[in-house]
């Protein structure tokens, strides 16, 4: 394992957002450049891991993108920079592989870190538990994270985002234009040409040139003008004119809702009239209760319902909102209002309402993920996918690999009876240990620091260790060193939890992840299991797995079986970490025993 301990040149951090790509250097407070994401990346949907685009196409897109990022935007020689990719949770495998291929083969970067983007904003809160809500362009993604462990089983997306606001805005503007037909001035001729620069660059055009236009053109109507608005302008109108309406309970002063019609200046003399109601009306789609799509507050409720009962209260104490759409004025208060209403109508979640607390990081919401990546990049000892590994044929890490908890300390599942492992009694009030009890143990056994320190430190580790989990050439490591015994035992829990009731979907996940360990699952394919293909399966299965455990008990099982395998990946990674987790492993071993 080559670590680049000396971080002489800071890493490059790239956040491939749906609408905008942010790039910059680690430890800096803001991305150096923010630009529109190439179209192909925008097409990737969150809920499908597959992508229609071929691997070659991805390579071409990323080659162009990264060349621009390195040589035009960041102006850094890629040979001396590690790269942190803030990775979508379910980005398609070809895309990820194309990223590795381009960065290693074409640009010769020393190492890549794929980091799940939704974990990163948590760094800015200094806490290891919380809910990250990314209200982006295409949709809103909600991920709970408990003690550094992302609970992917509770990962929820709400089908509302900036794009829907844009759509509404276009509709509203068009409707207004139709109701109030009027003509607008044409922009001055000739100043808009883009192609064809000189008389000679287009000989054919210059021959039959004389342009008899201009004279008898029909007047430009407002409808035409609105209809011809491009997405970029539309987005600009949204950012400059629109806001999220809210009205606080007392009906008093704290109201954000004006009756001011405004004009959005377009070209020189043109302007688009925007009605007051349009300004807030278009954003209502985010809280749309027509049932047409999941709105944000429903998404949060759904997510919480998928979470184990015990941790809900801690989760809601730290809600971080990020994403471009969240920077609309009034977004946060409105969300709070909607959430309150939603909680009150849900008897099971009623009690968490008063615990809800929003973190307000100093940074603009749109770049929170990037800033988190920049902090991640500043840390030492974070694991990576190195060029050497790539050349050896180690497959590109899968997101499943990151979800693995580092310190596999995880002791038994339920408090009192080991036999109960599969299904912890509903409402037992105990957090599934894999989730909640880990940091304490972790910190006491592994980290000399305080539990708190351990908690956040832990956050550095999960990503730190696991990537190698699934791809590390652990064969070699394991054969050389005697120690893996405990580590082997570690992955057993993964397999143990699989058979637990009602977690078929989770099983796929577990196998996928456990597969990373190789010796893993009882599937009797010890070595082959390590192949990332299995990992890929896991990736695909996971989203499916998420909604599966609907019932509470089952939900928890699902949750745990999704999490439990995490330790599995971890041990295989470095000999160092394996060793360090020895004690933990021992404990795990016992737990296995108990289970069987």
Partner 1 sequence: MYVEDPIYYHKSEYIQTASGNKVSRKSVLCGSQNIQLSGRSIIKPGVILRGDLALLRIGKYVIVGEDTVLRPPYKKYRGGFAFFPMAIGDYVTIGDKTVVNAALIGSYVDIGDNCIICKRCVIKDNCRILPGTILPPDTVVPPFTVFGGTPGRCLGELPESVQFVHKERANAYYRRFVPQQKSSRAARGT
Partner 2 sequence: MIYSDGYAEGEPRVEFRTDVDDGGGQGAGTGTGRLFPLEELYFCDACSLVCSRYGLTEEIDSYYCPHCLENMPSSEAMLYLNRCSKCFECPICFNTLTITAAHDGKCFFSCQFCRWSSGEIQLEAEKPDMLVAAAFQKERDSPHRTEMNKLVETFRKASQEITRERELQARMRRRSITLFLPATSGEGSKRGSKSGGGAHPWVVEDLENMLKDKKTKLKTMSIRTTTKKGVRIESISLKDLIAPSDEKARSIAEQLKSLDETPTDTIASLDQRTRCINEEAHTLSGLIPSRKPLLTKRSRRCRQCTRYVVKPQINPCSTPPFQKQNIAWLYVPRVLLVHPNPNEIGVGRVMSVSFAMYNPVESNTTARFAADAYNRNISEGEEEEDRDNNSSSSNPFGYTMDVLTEPFETVIGPHNELQDVHEGLIEEDSAAVPTDDNPEIITERKGNKIMVCLRVKPHDDSAGKEATFGIPVELSFKDRTMKEHNTHIHLVFTLGIISGASE
Residues of span 127-186 touching partner 1 by CB under 8 A: none
Angle at 586 between CA 585 and CA 589, to 5 degrees: 85
| 488 forms part of the interface with partner 2 (CB under 8 A) | yes
Q: Can you tell me the distance from the alpha carbon of 446 to that of 585, in angstroms, rounded to the nearest whole number?
A: 12
Count of residues touching partner 2 (by CB under 8 A): 149
| 212 forms part of the interface with partner 1 (CB under 8 A) | no
| 339 forms part of the interface with partner 2 (CB under 8 A) | yes
> Which one among 125, 157, 468, 500 touches partner 2, defined by CB under 8 A?
125
Residues of span 520-549 touching partner 2 by CB under 8 A: 526
Residue 499 DSSP SS3: coil
Site mask for partner 2 (CB under 8 A), range 79-108, x = bound: --------------------------xx-x
Cβ distance to partner 2 smaller for residue 390 or 399: 390
Cβ distance to partner 2 smaller for residue 462 or 512: 462
CB 410 within 8 A of CB 493: yes
Cβ distance to partner 2 smaller for residue 91 or 125: 125
| 197 forms part of the interface with partner 1 (CB under 8 A) | yes
Stretch that binds partner 1, among 94-102, 195-203, 372-380, 415-423 (CB under 8 A): 195-203
> Which one among 182, 201, 345, 475 touches partner 1, defined by CB under 8 A?
201
| 576 forms part of the interface with partner 1 (CB under 8 A) | no
> Which one among 38, 42, 45, 76 touches partner 2, defined by CB under 8 A?
76
Region at 329 (left for phi over 0; alpha for psi -120 to 50; beta for the rest): beta
What residues does 319 pair with on adjacent strands?
131, 358
What residues does 144 pair with on adjacent strands?
131
Alpha-helical regions (H) of 31-161: 39-43, 55-67, 93-101
- Residue 292 burial by CB count (10 A; 0-12/13-18/19+): exposed, middle or buried? exposed
| 448 forms part of the interface with partner 1 (CB under 8 A) | no
Phi and psi at residue 140, in whole multiples of 5°? -110, 125
Scored b (16 or more CB within 10 A) or e, 150-176 reads: bbbbbbbbbbbbbbbbbebbbebbeeb
Site mask for partner 1 (CB under 8 A), range 61-100, x = bound: -----------x----------------------------
Residue 211 DSSP SS3: coil
- Work out how close the CB of 91 gets to partner 2 at its nearest, in angstroms, rounded to a whole number: 19
What is the sign, positive or negative, of the torsion defined by CA atoms of 214, 215, 217, 218? positive
Give CA separation, 225 vs 190, 228, 291, 412, 536, in Å.
17, 5, 33, 65, 47
- Work out how close the CB of 268 gets to partner 1 at its nearest, in angstroms, rounded to a whole number: 10
Instruction: Tell me 104's DSSP state.
Output: I
Residue 399 interacts with which of partner 2, partner 1, none, CB < 5 to 8 Å by class: none
> Which one among 37, 51, 91, 129 touches partner 2, defined by CB under 8 A?
129
Cβ distance to partner 1 smaller for residue 198 or 290: 198
Closest by CA to 81, choosing from 138, 12, 30, is: 12
Q: Can you tell me the distance from the alpha carbon of 323 to that of 282, in angstroms, rounded to the nearest whole number?
A: 18
DSSP string, 424-475: PPTT--PPPHHHHTHHHHHHHHT-SS-HHHHHHHHHHHHHHHHHHHHHS-HH
Residue 230 interacts with which of partner 1, partner 2, none, CB < 5 to 8 Å by class: none
- Work out how close the CB of 548 gets to partner 2 at its nearest, in angstroms, rounded to a whole number: 26
- Work out how close the CB of 193 gets to partner 1 at its nearest, in angstroms, rounded to a whole number: 4
- Work out how close the CB of 394 gets to partner 2 at its nearest, in angstroms, rounded to a whole number: 17
Residues of span 206-245 touching partner 2 by CB under 8 A: 235-236, 239-241, 243
Residues of span 133-192 touching partner 2 by CB under 8 A: none
Chain residues that interact with partner 1, rule: CB under 8 A: 72, 190-194, 196-201, 203-204, 206-207
């Amino acid at each position: 394992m080559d670590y680049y301990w000396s971080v002489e040149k800071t890493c490059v951090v790239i956040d491939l957002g749906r609408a905008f790509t942010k790039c910059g250097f680690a430890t800096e407070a803001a991305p150096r450049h923010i630009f529109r994401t190439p179209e192909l990346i925008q097409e990737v949907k969150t809920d499908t891991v597959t992508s229609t685009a071929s691997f070659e196409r991805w390579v071409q897109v990323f080659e162009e993108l990264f060349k621009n990022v390195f040589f035009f935007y960041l102006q850094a020689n890629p040979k001396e920079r590690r790269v942190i990719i803030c990775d979508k949770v379910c980005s398609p495998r070809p895309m990820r592989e194309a990223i590795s291929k381009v960065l290693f083969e074409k640009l010769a970067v020393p190492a890549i870190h794929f980091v799940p983007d939704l974990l990163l904003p948590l760094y800015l809160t200094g806490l290891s538990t919380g809910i990250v809500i990314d209200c982006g362009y295409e949709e809103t993604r909600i991920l709970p994270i408990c003690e550094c462990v992302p609970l992917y089983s509770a990962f929820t997306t709400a089908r509302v985002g900036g794009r829907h606001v844009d759509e509404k805005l276009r509709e509203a503007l068009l409707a207004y234009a139709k109701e109030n037909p009027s003509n607008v001035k044409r922009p001055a001729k000739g100043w808009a040409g883009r192609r064809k620069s000189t008389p000679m660059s287009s000989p054919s055009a210059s021959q039959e040139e004389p342009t008899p236009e201009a004279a008898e053109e029909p007047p430009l109507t407002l409808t035409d003008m609105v209809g011809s608005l491009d997405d970029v302008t539309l987005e600009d109108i949204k950012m400059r004119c629109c806001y999220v309406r809210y009205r606080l309970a007392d009906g008093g002063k704290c109201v954000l809702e004006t009756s001011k019609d405004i004009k959005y200046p377009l070209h020189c003399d043109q302007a688009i009239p925007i009605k007051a109601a349009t300004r807030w009306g278009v954003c209502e789609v985010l809280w749309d209760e027509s049932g047409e799509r999941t709105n944000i507050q429903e998404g949060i409720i759904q997510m919480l319902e998928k979470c184990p009962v015990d941790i809900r209260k801690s989760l809601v104490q730290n809600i971080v909102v990020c994403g471009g759409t969240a920077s609309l004025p009034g977004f946060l208060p409105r969300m709070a209002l909607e959430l309150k209403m939603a909680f009150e109508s849900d008897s099971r979640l009623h009690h968490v309402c008063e615990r809800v607390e929003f973190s307000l990081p100093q940074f603009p919401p749109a770049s929170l993920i990037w800033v988190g990546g920049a902090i991640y990049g500043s840390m030492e000892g974070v694991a990576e996918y190195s060029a050497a590994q790539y050349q050896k044929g180690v497959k590109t890490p899968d997101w499943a690999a990151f979800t693995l908890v580092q310190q596999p300390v995880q002791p038994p599942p339920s408090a009192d009876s080991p036999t109960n492992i599969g299904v912890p009694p509903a409402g037992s009030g105990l957090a599934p240990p894999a989730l909640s009890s880990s940091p304490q143990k972790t910190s006491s056994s592994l980290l000399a620091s305080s539990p708190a320190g351990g908690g956040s430190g832990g956050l550095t580790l999960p990503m730190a260790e696991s990537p190698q989990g699934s791809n590390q050439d652990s064969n070699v490591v394991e054969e050389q060193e005697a120690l893996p015994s405990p580590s082997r035992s570690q992955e057993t829990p993964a397999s143990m939890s699989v058979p637990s009731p009602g977690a078929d979907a989770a099983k796929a996940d577990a196998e996928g992840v456990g597969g990373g360990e190789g010796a893993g699952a009882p599937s009797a394919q010890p070595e082959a299991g390590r192949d990332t293909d299995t990992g890929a399966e896991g990736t695909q299965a996971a989203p499916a797995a998420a909604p599966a455990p609907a019932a509470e008990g089952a939900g928890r099982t699902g949750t745990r079986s999704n999490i439990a395998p995490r330790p599995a990946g971890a041990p295989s990674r470095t000999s160092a970490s394996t060793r360090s987790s020895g004690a933990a492993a021992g404990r795990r071993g016992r737990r296995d025993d108990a289970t069987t």
